[in-house]
Amino acid sequence: VQESLAGRVCLLHMSPLSQAEACGYPSELFTVELERLLTRSKAVTPASIQEVFERIWRGGMPAIVSGVKKEQAAVYSSYISTYIDRDVKEIADRVDSFKFLNFVTVVAALTSQMVNYKTIADAVEISVPTVKNWLNILERLGIIFYLHPYSNNLLKRMVTKPKLYFYDSGLVAYLTKWTDSETLMNGAMSGAILENFVVSEIVKSYQNAGLEPFIYYYRDKDNKEIDIVLERNGTLYPLKVKKTMMPDKRWTNVFGVLDKTSLKRGTGGILCLSDKFTAFDRDNLIIPVWEI
């Protein structure tokens, strides 16, 4: 017990099942490399928009994915109850169960958005310090994670707030009361929950490989935004997430803001609901969500 385990321990983050795991495909590290994406597009079965949103709505809980449990709502209801009664109270004794459930629901409704502590505090009728404490609990228990804005001394007028995401899109769908995948697909949260799904899948691909993802977002005060900025080997890879089958190349124009950084800008892409992997040109790819 007293002996140091430094250098002899590997810590793995056990997230809900990824899309690849749920579909029985090999888990691969997500990269924006033309040849690797082309190879993977041939190894993965394309999915329709309806099938993608079914995956989003169903989530990554092993009991649901495996078919052991048929009722999505029953699984997540039991999960939330156990989570509040046991795990949360082990970390913080003085937690009002009803308010905490309301808090988690409000946070789920704000997924893929910049964190606004005051908005959450007002909605749940708790203090801002309590919001920060409870968000910390969700993060420690592996329920949520953040994307921080990409910062560089050469970039000006940057926002500073992180964006919040859930590891499991099915939990978001349950908490925000979408009763099936079709209503979710056509609902007001469809774009936000699609972005949550994409970001979490990319993060899981790194975690499943035992690697730390260096993943950020970009937004400045002129409303120029890049949903995902992947940093790898001294190169920045810009990505946008769009709920469309036919992306517009003009959406890639914003990627040029990264040319002001000290790092090289690599291949960019639009992650969308296209039925096939293709490209605008060699530097800007069209990547189907089902391929991640």
Q: For residue range 41-87, list pLDDT tens digits in order.
A: 999 999 999 999 999 999 999 999 988 888 888 999 998 888 767 77
> Average of pLDDT values for 21-30?
91
> Average of pLDDT values for 272-289?
95
Percent of the chain with pLDDT over 70: 93
Q: For residue range 78-93, list pLDDT tens digits in order.
A: 988 887 677 777 777 6
Q: For residue range 112-129, list pLDDT tens digits in order.
A: 999 999 999 999 999 999
- Cα separation, 245 vs 171, whole angstroms: 25
pLDDT at res. 154: 58
- Cα separation, 111 vs 189, whole angstroms: 9
Looking up tokens 């391929």, which residue turns up? 291
Residue 1 has pLDDT above 60, yes or no: no
Its pTM surpasses 0.95: no
pLDDT at res. 26: 86
